[in-house]
A and B are shown apart, each in its own frame.
Chain A
Amino acid sequence: MNNTLTTEKRNPSLPAVEEAPGLIPLVDITEDKDAYTLVAEMPGVTRQNLEILLENHELTIIGRRNLAAPEGAEFLVRESKPHHFRRVFELDPAVDSARIEARMDQGVLTLILPKTEQVKPRKIAVS
């Protein structure tokens, strides 16, 4: 199982997402000295249906899901949105895009965006 994104991933075949209104996933973003952590809620999205695009310090997360009624069933009440998730972030140039890690668990995406070595605060020992 490869959960680590080490390369830029682009998929030109996304018309369904581009045309749909798109649902903005709720996110939490934190920063510590080594990395940013982005946590995004995308209920109904499997790891396979998750797309993370990185281009010129622009991070796009797309989560496709199908919450249609199963065959033979009909909605009596529908509050879930029949849309895919999509959100674009501008990345701090200090993020080391080669080391971004992604994890998906129960509809929650966690992205770890490590900072490049030179921007990390370094303690210089005085001899």
Chain B
Amino acid sequence: MSQLFGVRNDLDRVVKEFFEDFTKGMEYFHGWVPAMDVLEEKNNLIVRMELPGLKKEDIDISVHEGVLSISGERKREAANEPSEQFRTERYFGRFNRAVTLPKPVHVEQISAAYKEGILTITLPKTEAAKPRQIEVTVG
């Protein structure tokens, strides 16, 4: 075996090992848990998920009774040639996450975009969930 890549500094290694142990544990119990953000703006809820390297058709999004579910699968690409693995930190396989939406949304108007490995789901809030300005009349 020829000389291989070495992670340069010790800190890098320590952090990585910790991270590896931590995420290995998670993988054992839950599979893969991609990071998710939930944001709110005036008219929409926005849910973002870090999903690097997936195919659009391998991502499933559904809403049922106010719960948004995102699932999918990262498929391993078959190697063309026999190769030796030095580092295998990435996850392959299925993930499944669900979040209870904090506000009612128009289910039929939900849209999703997948760009730079980030899934962004825009969920328009129902009128009742939008902030309303109440005018004060002076009388």
Contact = CB atoms under 8 A, between A and B. Distances in A.
A107 B39 contact: no
Interface of B: 2-9, 12, 15-16, 19, 35-42, 45-46, 48, 50-54, 79, 81-91, 99, 102, 114-118
Interface of A: 24, 26-33, 36-39, 41-46, 58, 65, 67, 69-70, 72-81, 87-94, 105-108, 119
B88 A76 contact: no
Given A27-B87, A79-B36, A108-B53, A73 B81 contact: no
A107 B87 contact: no
A76 B88 CA distance: 33
Given A28-B85, A30-B79, A89 B35 contact: no
A81 B51 CA distance: 14
A37 B4 CA distance: 12
B87 A69 contact: no
A33 B118 CA distance: 34
In the A-B complex, list the 3 residue pairs whose CB atoms are closest, starting with the nearest: A107-B117, A107-B52, A43-B117
B88 A28 contact: yes
Contacts of A105: 53
Given A26-B89, A28-B89, A80-B35, A41 B117 contact: yes
Contacts of B89: 26-28
A89 B6 contact: yes
Given A32-B81, A107-B52, A27 B90 contact: yes
